[in-house]
Amino acid sequence: MKIVFDIDNTLSNLDHRLHFIQPESVGEKKDWDGFFAACERDAPIPQTVKLCQDLMLAGHTVEFWTGRREAERDTTVEWLNKYVLTREVCAKGWGYPLYLVKLSRLVDSSWRLKMRKDGDRRRDHVAKMEFIDWDHPPDIIFDDRATVVKAYRELGLTVFQVAEGNF
């Protein structure tokens, strides 16, 4: 099967940086730059990371579709290599291209890690729908955000919602 994992709040715990986009006072602006810039300090969410690894080890094709911007690609690849694409996973061949990115800039990770273009300020539930390749749509998508889950389901895709995701 082709299986898609969201990253923020699905594989990674972003609680420590939610304050950037949940201002305490009325009139204070959301700081999306600060929110994304802090993503390298996210802790992995053990249950979904393990599930993702097990699916890769079982031979399924896994892709990562994130609302993060291309500017965070290097940070995101590093994070995935550190917590998800372990040596055991890479040894089986799954996630191999991403792992190589850490060692060499020659390998293109874009086919397996889909990200929002820099400067794209559209909402997730709009931007992410463009990741879908209708010749090879995913069999299952794991995502947390209610608006995104709803948009995928309206297109007929199967989504496992991993958290409430009402932010």
144 lies in the site for Mg ion, by CB under 5 A: yes
Supply 89's token pair.
Answer: 């996973």
Residue among 108, 88, 112 nearest 100 (CA): 108
Is 124 among the residues that bind Mg ion (CB under 5 A)?
no
| Candidate ranges 5-13, 20-28, 53-61, 72-80; the one touching Mg ion (CB under 5 A) | 5-13
State which amino acid sits at residue 90: C
Q: What's the closest the beta carbon of residue 104 comes to Mg ion, in angstroms? A: 29
- Reduced to 3 states, what is the DSSP secondary structure of residue 96? helix
Q: How many residues bind Mg ion (CB under 5 A)?
A: 5
Question: Which residue type occupies 24?
Answer: E
**In the complex, what is the shortest distance from the CB of residue 19 to Mg ion, in angstroms, rounded to a whole number?**
17
- Of 3, 4, 5, 9, the residue at the interface with Mg ion (CB under 5 A) is 9
Asked if residue 145 lies in contact with residue 124, where contact means CB atoms within 8 angstroms, the answer is yes
Residues that bind Mg ion (CB under 5 A): 6, 8-9, 144-145
